[in-house]
Amino acid sequence: MPPTPIYLDHNATTPMDPAVLEAMRPHFLAGGNAESRHGFGRSARRAWEQARETVAQILGAEPSEVIFTSGGTESNNLAVFGLAGAESSPGHVVTSPIEHPAIVEPVARLESAGFAVDRVPVDAQGLADATRMAATFRDETRFATLMLANNETGAIQPVGGLARLAAARGIPVHTDAVQAVGRILVDFHALGVSTLAASAHKFHGPVGIGLLLVRSGVRLGSRLFGGGQQQGRRPGTVAVPLAVGLATALRIWHDQAQARAARWNALRDRLEAGLIAALGPQRVIRNGPALDECRLPQTVNLGFPGLDGDALLMQLDLAGIAASLGSACASGSTRPSPTLMAMRVPDDRLRSSVRFSLGATTTEAEIDEAIRRIVEVVGRIAAADETAAGETR
């Protein structure tokens, strides 16, 4: 009989909250285009506007600054290419080496079109230095981009500091907040950024809906054409049920934010401490910030020196534990994690690191059972490696 599954990969995606599904159901079943001038259309429009107002209230924005998209990747692409602008000559972009592929690849596309790009190094804890990034600004700098929280290590970045330094030069800042929204408090206006991306499926909402916050007055070139919806920045028939789902999931998280953060912190620390106690501090090493205030509450990245990460992940899967080697969007790659490489993590840890991420459904009993299974798997792999090494002597 297969073991009961334990899902510890919520940074990849979260299961939808049943209450979110129920909130969406009437809008899936009803007709009505939010742009139509009849009763069905007005009903859809009211639901759409209410979703925008909910998002704006929780994230510290104005409703007019909320643009709904298909998810984080689209939001990041709209921001990167929109802030780059359509000027005749390429400009300059400042970024970090720990960004998600949804930022890395659009920036690389700009670079191939002639843009100059500064990828400012992070420290050994995976934290960017806002002052160091700002030191690379030029007169032709079009924008800077820095994620709010890293998807692999949970490191919370100094985005507000970067935005303040950039504002003094009139340079817009974009932040990929996909892993932050629904995990920590995020205030768009307080951060001071020009644009901010998020995605519903990271906080128990539906897949296929995200958002881009665009500060009032910010020039953002359009990438899509064919309608005037959402100020022409993201035209097309609006997905009312999905917007309702995103807003509902965000509201549920917001109402429980403090309790969830405290519980996640406790469960995350229980997992890490339990593994270190069982395997020893030399065989389990955390990758990421030392201080809790610099970490997401539900993410821990652990290195198991001497083990092969792919083999470890496969054995964990057979043991019923879902985890990840890093970004789900790059999981098919055999290349070591760019984030851990940027942190200059030693090679034996670089190739043996696993990300565990928790969600609203994670329980203490699951964490305790996960510790037991992980310890068993690590011991089994280590024993097999020792046997193989002995046979080759």
- Asked if 147 and 342 touch (Cβ cutoff 8 Å), the reply is no
Angle 240-255/257-279 helices, nearest 10 degrees? 70
Distance (Å, whole) CA 389 – CA 393? 7
Per-residue b or e along 246-271, where b marks 16 or more CB atoms closer than 10 Å to that residue's CB: bbbbbbbbbeeeeebbebbbebbeeb
- Asked if 183 and 15 touch (Cβ cutoff 8 Å), the reply is no
The single residue of 329, 330, 341, 375 carrying the catalytic annotation is 329
The total number of residues shown for the chain amounts to: 393
Q: How far apart are the first and last CA of the chain?
A: 38
- Choose among 150, 201, 184, 202: nearest CA to 60: 184
Q: What Cα–Cα distance (Å) separates residue 80 from each residue in 70, 154, 306? A: 16, 23, 39
Distance (Å, whole) CA 149 – CA 177? 7
Q: Do strands 141-145 and 116-119 pair parallel, antiparallel, or not at all (unpaired)?
A: unpaired
Whether 294 sits among the annotated catalytic residues: the reply is no
Residues that are catalytic: 329
